[in-house]
Amino acid sequence: MAYPIDKTAWVDGVTELDAWWFNAIEDYIGVVGSTEPGSLTYKLTNPEQADPGHRHTAAAFNGGIDGDVFGRAGGAWAPKTPDAAGLVAKAGDQSITGKKTFATIPEGPNADPTTGNQLTRKSYVDAGIAAEANTRAAADAAHDTAIAGKVAKAGDTMTGDLGFGGETADRAIQQGRRSTADSAGRSFTLGAGGATTGATNKAGGILRLQPGVSTGSGESGVEVYGCPAGFPGGVDNALALMFKILGNKMGFFGEGPVTKPAPLTAQLATLTCDAPGFDDYDLAAPVQNTGWGFSTADEFKTAMAVIANLQTRCLELEIRLQSLGLLGIGIII
Of 249, 240, 189, 194, which is closest to residue 219 (Cα–Cα)? 249
Output 302 or 254, whichever has higher pLDDT.
Answer: 302
Output the CA torsion sign for 40, 45, 50, 53: positive
pLDDT class for 11, splitting at 50, 70, 90? Answer: low
What contacts 285, CB < 8 A, 6 or more positions away?
295
Query: What element of type H or E holds 303?
Result: helix 297-323
Cα separations in angstroms, 323 against 125, 217, 250, 251, 330: 69, 29, 16, 17, 12
In the predicted model, is pLDDT for residue 264 greater than 80?
Answer: no
Handedness of CA 290, 293, 298, 300 (dihedral sign): negative
Q: What's the whole-model pTM score?
A: 0.45
Helix (H, G, I), strand (E, B) or coil at 330: coil
Phi, psi of 2, rounded to the nearest 5 degrees: -75, 150
User: What is the Cα–Cα distance from 297 to 304, expressed in whole angstroms?
Assistant: 11
Distance (Å, rounded) from C-alpha 109 to C-alpha 115? 15
Count of CB atoms situated within 10 Å of the CB of 299: 19
pLDDT (tens digit per residue) in 277-303: 888 888 888 888 888 888 888 988 898
Separation of alpha carbons 226 and 240, rounded Å: 5
Residue 69: the pLDDT is 81
Segment 21-47, tens digit of pLDDT: 667 777 777 777 777 777 777 777 777
